[in-house]
Amino acid sequence: MRLASLKELIVRSLPTMGLLTLLGMFSTGGPAWADPLSYLVTINTSTINGTSGNLDLQFNPGALPGTQSATATVQGFASDGTLGTAGLTGDVAGTLPGTLSFDNQTVFNDDFQAIVFGNTIQFNLVLSGPAVLTPDGISTSGSSFGIGLWDSTGFNPLLTSDPNGFAGIVNINLDGSGTATIFLTDAGGPPVVTVTPEIASTVPEPGSILLFGTGLTAMIRIVRRGLRG
């Protein structure tokens, strides 16, 4: 008899419990889920194996002011080439093959890395920050992460038909999504860069967990009061 009464009470309480849960989930003042954009970038440099040159990694805003804050992280770098000295410009910190961290609040942010090319270069690219996690809806331009290969002089791009010298670009759009563009080689061959989206672990923000838990606690109290009554 008591089991049947508990079941009926839970059913009667569902509208209130649902409302409390929704209030807990959506009263945070911002999105409840944080999703950085994550990509696996692979560069096929087999046709220039043994050549001295430069790997160019840039993360720049479309316009300042007008671009919401964002970050770019290069991690898990691997190559069978040989790294040399890097030149850093703007808001970028770190040294390959370690982690590189970029910010987009200066006009030009660049890691120009000397390298004797091997067969391949690979790294993980993670784009995050407010422009990705909480787009403000008022910014007028996004940001771009550019990937380029250059000769040893630093003046001649390699393996791309892009007039700006990029072999691949990943854009942060105004809605927080990402778009990748890759370019044919200068000889019309297939792109040497592949950009593969990775599945990000969707993690609730701490405030959302707390308020969601508050809603669950309130539901339990409703059931307990009903049982006592």
**pLDDT value of residue 20:** 36
3 state DSSP class of 165? coil
Tokens linked to 179: 């778009």
Lowest-pLDDT range, 79-83, 148-152, 198-202? 198-202
Residue 12 has pLDDT above 60, yes or no: no
| One-letter amino acid of 45 | T
HSE, CB side, 13 Å, CA atoms: give it for residue 160.
Answer: 25
Q: How far is CA 72 from CA 82, 103, 218, in A?
A: 24, 7, 41
Across the range 56-72, mean pLDDT stands at: 97
Q: Is the model's pTM score more than 0.85?
A: no
Residue 130 has pLDDT above 90, yes or no: yes
DSSP 155: S
Tokens linked to 190: 């297939």
Write down the mean pLDDT value for the chain. Answer: 82
Across the range 136-149, mean pLDDT stands at: 97
Interval 17-34: pLDDT, tens: 443 343 343 434 444 445
**pLDDT value of residue 152:** 97
**pLDDT value of residue 34:** 54
**pLDDT value of residue 199:** 76
Residue 120 has pLDDT above 70, yes or no: yes
What is the band of 206 on the pLDDT scale with cuts at 50, 70, 90? very low
Interval 71-113: pLDDT, tens: 999 999 999 999 999 999 999 999 999 999 999 999 999 999 9
Cis preceding linkage at 65, omega within 30: yes
Lowest-pLDDT range, 1-15, 91-105, 113-127? 1-15
**pLDDT value of residue 14:** 40
Across the range 171-196, mean pLDDT stands at: 97
